[in-house]
Amino acid sequence: MDYDRQCMSDRIRSVLTARIFDGTLKAGDRLVELEIAREFDTSQTPVREAFRELESLRLVDCVPYRGTRVREISEREMVEAYTVRGALEQLAAELAAPLLQGDVTEIRQSLGLIHAAAREGDIEAYARHNMDFHRAIVVASDNEVLIHSWERLAFEARVRLHLRRHNEPNLSLRALEHDPVVDALEIGDGKTAGRLLREHAESCKHRWCERVRDADSQTDTNSPDVQQMNASCLS
């Protein structure tokens, strides 16, 4: 029974995640336990479990007595998350390089898929393979605390949602930023691979900042939220 409940919880989480990614469920939309339980012909228990998992991925907010809603990933949060991601991936590369030296087959396969998705302009595939690439390096660090911290950033969700919102006209150029990372890991040069990953995260952050500043030109630049975001982007 517990196994069946877990399978149902995983199925509900997967379906709701897909709906958030493809825009069927938008920021602010409420998720009603009873309605979802009826849709999947199940009890509310696996629905609650799915909600908890979605909350851990920072895709929803669960507020007691107020319900569960799809959360908005703010531009400020995106910028701050890229800063943390860069630091974590730099450390991951330094730890992983000695273990990956001479054998980066899996990572090169992910890299090839990133380039293929970029050529086709397939945002969904690019986001998926991009996360597989970065996750493989983090997992290769063999540091459970680091891996857990990186996973908590839920970057696959962030990348998919923000690529949809802003579009990325230069996917092929972005894909090329990954090539020298693999080359460095292959020869066991963790310092170079780590530096490149941190620089990649910083360049992503600055691209988001440019979009934020463009959006700010059409909003109240004197508001506290805008001023805080501009400060983050300029740091």
Range of weakest confidence among 23-27, 42-46, 182-186: 23-27
State how far Cα 8 lies from the chain centre.
24
Q: Where are the beta strands (DSSP E) in the chain?
A: 30-31, 60-63, 67-70
Range of weakest confidence among 35-39, 71-75, 119-123: 71-75
Q: Could you tell me which of 142, 158, 134 has the C-alpha nearest to residue 86?
A: 134
Residues 183-200 pLDDT 10s: 999 999 999 999 999 999
The fourth-level CATH superfamily of domain 75-234 is GntR ligand-binding domain-like (1.20.120.530)
Give residue limits of the domains in the chain: 2-70, 75-234
Residues 68-89 pLDDT 10s: 999 887 777 888 889 999 999 9
Strand, coil or helix: what is 68?
Answer: strand
Give the global pTM.
Answer: 0.72
CATH class (in words) of the domain with range 2-70: mainly alpha
